[in-house]
């Protein structure tokens, strides 16, 4: 066990926007970083998930609506921040709060210990006793891959959208993008300039405005969406994409070697495939009662264990800047009021 983690009132697991929002809320309530609470993260120092976003990505929301209260993004508040700006911004928030994240520490479990209010947090650095644990490990923590993806054998590449950085990664030839959310739409638009793109989507949908706070982190049009601009991009039947030369296809039913079969029975043999198929949340390390019993917003079935930034625990919009701040202030009040 690392000495810096022991005997703290709160341990926040995750140093992204959710974890830093909770740190900010606790600080506003008088708790001191490194004294009353600590922040840990499984990543290498400073390697928040924004580091791996593709180079052209911009937020759907403008800077004014993309910052944690009370620390706004520097610069023009009307611009749409890039992914690299979010990396710098979260580092700026971390430093401003005086938080010294303990990087390279992965949480593996948490359980109640004894008859009191103590929790035992298991980590790759050892076991730590604390009164409160905040799970802030992300609503979009792990790429979700369809079963048929393992059956694909194409001449180019097969990768999840989380591994895409720039067009040069995709060999020349036909490209199939699977997933009609904001990630798939943006990638189809970007790559249509250099590839013959087919976009496979379950149900063509209309664009939702930037302030609608939908719930699907990563693939939905949230404030931290991967969509580049707030203008409508879906439209009726994806007409804008069609005008850019993108072929719109139904959902993928299965794959066999180099052949992909759609729900309507049509088949193609793409050169490469990008899977914009969403993510699973980072709550796998929580015990079953914590994941199934949710007495109130951000609370779990394990007293003293809270979750920030995941809609299934905090409600619609928890994976947005506005929503995660509501989660954070709620959690801070629960912790302050705990005996």
Task: Say what the pTM is.
Answer: 0.84
**C-alpha to C-alpha distance for 332 and 313, rounded to whole angstroms:** 15
**C-alpha to C-alpha distance for 209 and 237, rounded to whole angstroms:** 17
- C-alpha distances in Å from residue 208, one per residue of 114, 168, 205, 215, 238: 49, 30, 9, 12, 14
Q: How many CB atoms lie within 10 A of CB 102?
A: 19
Q: What pLDDT does residue 117 have?
A: 85
**Cβ(78)–Cβ(85) below 8 Å:** no
**C-alpha to C-alpha distance for 221 and 224, rounded to whole angstroms:** 8
Pairing status of strand 267-268 against strand 259-262: antiparallel
Residue whose C-alpha is closest to residue 60's, from 208, 274, 242, 259: 208
In the chain, which stretches have pLDDT less than 70? 1-4, 70, 204-237, 339
Q: What pLDDT does residue 207 have?
A: 44
**Residue pLDDT, tens place only, 89-114:** 899 999 999 999 999 999 999 999 87
Residues of the chain with CATH 3.50.50.60: 3-141+281-337, 144-275
Residues 6+ apart with CB under 8 A from 288: none
Q: What pLDDT does residue 339 have?
A: 65
CATH 2.60.40.10: does it fit domain 3-141+281-337? no
Query: What architecture does CATH give domain 144-275?
Result: 3-Layer(bba) Sandwich (3.50)
């Amino acid at each position: 066990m690392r000495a810096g983690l022991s005997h703290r009132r709160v341990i926040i697991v995750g140093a992204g926007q959710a974890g830093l929002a909770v740190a900010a809320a606790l600080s506003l309530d008088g708790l001191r970083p490194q004294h009353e609470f600590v922040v840990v993260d499984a990543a290498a120092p400073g390697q928040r998930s924004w580091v791996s976003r593709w180079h052209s990505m911009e937020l759907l929301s403008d800077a004014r609506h993309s910052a944690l209260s009370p620390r706004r993004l520097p610069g023009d508040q009307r611009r749409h921040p890039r992914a690299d700006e979010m990396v710098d911004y979260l580092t700026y928030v971390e430093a401003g709060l005086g938080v010294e994240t303990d990087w390279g520490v992965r949480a593996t479990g948490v359980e109640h210990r004894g008859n009191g209010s103590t929790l035992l947090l298991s980590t790759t650095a050892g076991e730590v006793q604390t009164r409160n644990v905040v799970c802030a490990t992300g609503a979009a923590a792990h790429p979700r891959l369809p079963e048929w993806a393992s059956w694909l054998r194409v001449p180019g590449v097969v990768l999840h959208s989380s591994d895409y950085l720039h067009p040069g990664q995709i060999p020349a030839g036909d490209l199939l993008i699977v997933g009609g959310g904001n990630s798939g739409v943006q990638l189809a638009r970007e790559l249509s300039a250099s590839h013959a793109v087919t976009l496979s989507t379950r149900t063509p949908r209309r664009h939702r405005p930037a302030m609608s706070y939908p719930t699907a982190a990563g693939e939905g049009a949230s404030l931290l969406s991967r969509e580049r601009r707030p203008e409508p991009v879906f439209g009726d039947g994806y007409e804008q994409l069609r005008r850019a030369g993108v072929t719109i296809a139904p959902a993928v039913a299965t794959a066999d070697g180099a052949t992909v079969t759609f729900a309507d029975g049509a088949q193609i043999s793409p050169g490469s495939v990008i899977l914009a198929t969403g993510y699973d949340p980072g709550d796998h390390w929580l015990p079953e009662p914590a994941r199934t019993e949710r007495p109130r917003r951000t609370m779990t079935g394990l007293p003293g264990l809270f979750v920030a930034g995941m809609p299934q625990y905090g409600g619609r919009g928890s994976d947005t800047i506005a929503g995660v701040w509501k989660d954070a202030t709620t959690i801070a009040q629960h912790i302050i009021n705990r005996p």
